[in-house]
Every structure is written in C-alpha cells, then in structure tokens.
C-alpha cells in the first residue's frame, strides 16, 4: 500500500514495514534538541527518572539562544543549567555564546540533521528541518527528558496534507510569502496535527533557505510537521556537511492525503500578516498606511544568508527612516561572518540599522528589541500574537526580508518596489 514520505520515515524509525495515520508508535530519535528555556525543565525531569546517563552523548543538542547573551540573572542561571548538564554527560553538541546560533539555523548548518532523520526538539519550530526531507517536530520538555534517557519518542502518526505550488515566483516573493499566503488560506488550525507536505515546480526551484522558512512556519497552521522531499538542491546542501548517514525518502504515487491544495505562485505577491494571528495575511499592496516604530530582520524563520542578502539589496544606498529602529539578527555566527565578508553588515550599519549577535531576542519578547505600549513592528519572525514582542498593546506585523527592509526606509509598511 502506498505511503507518504512522512509515513515512510516514521515506519523506518519504529522498525515497521508500514504505518498508517492515527497509529501510536515508539520511534527511534536521531537527534533531541533543547534550548535555554525548555532544556532546564527537561533536565530536572531527566534527573527524576534516575537514568544512569544519556542515550547518546552525540545525539543531544543543547543550544542557549532565547535569552542570550544572558539578559539578567535568571537567564544566566537557565543557561548555566545547560552548560553544567552538557559537561556532566560529555555532550558533544553544546553551543556556547560566540559559537552558537539560533537553534533552527544552527543545527542544519552544523550538519546535525539530514534527510530521512527523525528529530524532536523542545521548541515548536523544530519542524524547520522538514526542509531537508526529515521528520522533525516540537515536543514538550518531559518528552525531551524521556528521549534523552531512552533515545525514543512516543508519537501518533499524522495524516498528511499535500500543498502543490505551480507557476513562477514574482520578484521579491519567497518562501515566507508562500507560507504566509498558505496559512492565510487554511487558517491557524487548518493542518492540526497533520504533516504539511510542500511540493510542485515552485518548491523545486526554491533555495534551501526558502524551504527552511516554509517548514519553520508549518506549526503556525497547527501542523505536527512540515516536509519537502529532498532533491539535488538538498543533496548539494547536505553533502560534505551532514555528520551522519542519511536517506532520501519520497511519497509514493497514490499515497493517501487528507487534503490536497493547489496554488499558482504567479498570483502571489509579497505578503504582510496583520495582528494578532499568522492567518491574517494579505498582499502588501493592500496593507494601507501602517506606520511602524521598529523593523526586525532575522530569527529562525528569516535569519539566513539569503534573507540578509535580500534585505541588503533593498537597503543599499538608503537610510532607515528617522522614526524607525531597524534591528538585524543573523541566524548564526557563520551567517554573520559570511554577511560581514560580503559587505552586508556594512550596508546595514551605514543605512542606520543595528546588528546583533545571533539570538532569538525580540521574537518571543525576550530582549534586544522589546516594544512599548502602542508601538508597531514589522518583523521577519514567525508569530504575531498579543504581546509577543513586548507590551500587550503593541502590534507585530509579519513579512519577508524585502518588505521589512523597505518598511524600515519608508517608515510605514511598504513594498520593496517603492524603494528600489
């Protein structure tokens, strides 16, 4: 009987020939991830279990990235829990400030995830790695604790929804716009506990960075995971990078899907998502006159090198509006260094932007860009819930890098064609 790519990966990791949606399985984990918010809880639960040690010191990654560099005493104590646990158990994948990055940018860059892998993380945006053809999903801290001890996770096999993207992308349209448009179409619960499988000619022509962005936001539609079948673009990314064996899986012809959606990407323009849900997307041409106080470019959604290049293309030779704060967060130290070598950092600073070391920072209302009452931000982040970036009466608008950069210049939400 035909299976989807998701079902094949889960079957392989549970030692079965096949699985079907709705089944409960125990599956072998290739990598378990925690950060400075979620891992301390998992570590406390791990210690309650009384396990003699972790299941594999090379298959656990601890990345302090949410409140680092430490913003206060409490965040410093949280980060120290990760450092102490990593030293105690000899973890090879603990990433200290200066060597770290935003976790979902860092792990693929470091070759810790690959096609066909099963990855869990105590962070909802762990679904990012589906861009490599992996099954990756967010779990709770107690599930992470159990996985650190046993190397297994308990899962219900999700149904799959197929999203087919045809046509040719318009200028300035990328993965962020495709996923915002999709979530705007199906809603924040449109893929509840389902695997969003992205396919079609437009996906096949999308860069790895664009694919990471799309899978990153699958959870914003309520999905268990997002996934894109690996191809030559994937192969070029993982060859010589991925540290462990990997396998390319593909959905069978005739595989069963809960739903199938079709989109003509030539009809999609750069998107803006209005407060306070990721489903409130609309074309930037329909945004109206929305003045902003802050523009944020970065995060695990759009902090990769392609994103920074796109923003720099808009900002080159221009100045940030005098009423606007522009903050740029490269996703990793490696991305930061590449942007420096390409002159992108100079472009940002000359334009009047502030460049930060890699951190989740303002995305979750942590630090490095908190909004005051009544302030508005446009951001390349993934959520715009009430109070997400600061005061409960502030507002967050989501977009891709080009729109965020253009808006920083204009002082209001704007399309890049208004600037370039």
* pLDDT tens for each residue of 30-43: 999 999 999 999 99
Closest CA to 260 of 36, 2, 4, 1: 4
One domain for residues 36 and 143: yes
Q: Do 135 and 179 share a structural domain?
A: yes
- What pLDDT does residue 63 have? 97
Give percent above pLDDT 90 in the chain. Answer: 99
Residue 172 has pLDDT above 90, yes or no: yes
Residue 362 binned pLDDT confidence (cut-offs 50, 70, 90): very high
Average pLDDT over residues 341-354: 98
List Cα–Cα distances, 359 to 158, 277, 329, in angstroms.
32, 23, 7
Residue ending a domain, among 209, 234, 263, is 263
127, 255: one domain: yes
pLDDT at 221: 97
Q: What is the pLDDT of residue 1?
A: 86
210 and 178 share one domain: yes
Domain shared by 84 and 161, yes or no: yes
Residues 137 and 275 in one domain: no
pLDDT at 403 over 90: yes
- Are both 175 and 208 inside the same structural domain? yes
Residues 94-127: tens digit of each pLDDT: 999 999 899 999 999 999 999 999 999 999 999 9
CATH code for the domain in which residue 395 is found: 3.30.499.10
Give me the pLDDT at residue 48, please.
Answer: 94
Residues 187 and 81 in one domain: yes
**Alpha carbon distance 38, 144 (integer Å):** 9
Question: What's the mean pLDDT when you consider all of the chain?
Answer: 97
pLDDT above 70 as % of the chain: 100
| C-alpha distances in Å from residue 83, one per residue of 34, 72, 221, 363 | 12, 17, 34, 24
Give 120-130 pLDDT, tens digit per residue: 999 999 999 99
Domain final position from 263, 284, 308: 263
Q: What is the mean pLDDT of residues 258-269?
A: 98
Put simply, whether the predicted model's pTM sits higher than 0.85 gets the answer yes
Q: How much is the CA Rg of the chain, to the nearest whole Å? A: 20
Whether 296 contacts 381, CB under 8 Å: yes
- The neighbour count for residue 248, using CB atoms within 10 Å, is 16
Q: Give the number of other CB atoms < 10 A from CB of residue 354.
A: 14
Residue span of the structural domain in which 192 resides: 5-263
pLDDT at 4 over 90: yes
Q: Among 232, 263, 294, give the residue marking a domain's end.
A: 263
Pull the structure tokens for residue 357. Answer: 């070391």
61 and 119, same domain (yes or no): yes
DSSP 276: T
Are both 171 and 302 inside the same structural domain? no
Q: What is the pLDDT of residues 18-30, one digit of tens each?
A: 999 999 999 999 9
- Regarding whether 223 and 319 lie in a shared domain, the answer is no
For residues 245 and 363, state if they share a domain.
no
Number of domains within the chain: 2
């Amino acid at each position: 009987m035909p299976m989807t790519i998701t079902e094949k990966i889960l079957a392989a990791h549970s030692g079965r020939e096949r699985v079907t949606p709705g089944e409960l399985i125990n599956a072998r984990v290739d990598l378990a991830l925690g950060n400075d918010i979620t891992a301390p809880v998992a570590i406390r639960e791990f210690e309650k279990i009384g396990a003699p040690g972790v299941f594999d010191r090379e298959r656990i990654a601890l990345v302090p990235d949410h409140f680092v560099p430490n913003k206060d005493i409490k965040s410093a104590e949280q980060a120290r829990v990760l450092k102490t646990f990593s030293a105690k158990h000899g973890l090879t994948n603990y990433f200290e400030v200066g060597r770290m990055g935003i976790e979902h940018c860092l792990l693929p860059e470091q070759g810790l995830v690959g096609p066909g892998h099963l990855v869990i993380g105590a962070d909802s945006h762990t679904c990012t790695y589906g861009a490599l053809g992996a099954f990756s999903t967010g779990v709770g801290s107690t599930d992470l604790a159990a996985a650190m001890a046993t190397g297994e996770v308990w899962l219900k096999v999700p149904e799959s929804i197929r999203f087919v993207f045809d046509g040719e992308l318009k200028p300035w349209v990328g993965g962020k716009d495709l996923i915002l448009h999709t979530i705007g179409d199906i809603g924040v619960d449109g893929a509840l506990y389902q695997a969003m499988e992205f396919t079609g000619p437009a996906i096949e022509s999308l860069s790895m960075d664009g694919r990471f962005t799309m899978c990153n936001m699958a959870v914003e539609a309520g999905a268990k995971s997002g996934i894109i079948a690996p191809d030559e673009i994937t192969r070029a990314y993982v060859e010589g990078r991925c540290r462990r064996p990997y396998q390319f899986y593909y959905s069978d012809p005739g595989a069963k899907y809960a739903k199938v959606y079709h989109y003509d990407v030539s009809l999609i323009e750069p998107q803006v998502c209005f407060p306070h849900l990721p489903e409130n997307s609309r074309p930037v041409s329909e945004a109206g006159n929305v003045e902003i106080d802050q523009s944020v470019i970065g995060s695990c959604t759009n902090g990769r090198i392609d994103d920074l290049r796109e923003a720099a293309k808009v900002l080159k030779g221009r100045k940030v509006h005098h009423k606007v704060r522009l903050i740029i967060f490269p996703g990793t130290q490696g991305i930061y260094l590449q942007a420096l070598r390409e002159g992108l950092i100079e472009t940002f600073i000359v334009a009047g932007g502030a460049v930060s070391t890699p951190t989740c920072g303002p995305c979750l209302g942590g630090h490095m860009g908190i909004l005051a009452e009544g302030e508005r931000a446009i951001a390349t982040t993934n959520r715009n819930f009430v109070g997400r970036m600061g005061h409960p009466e502030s507002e967050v608008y989501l977009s891709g890098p080009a729109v965020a950069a253009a808006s920083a210049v204009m002082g209001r939400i704007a399309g890049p064609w208004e600037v370039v």
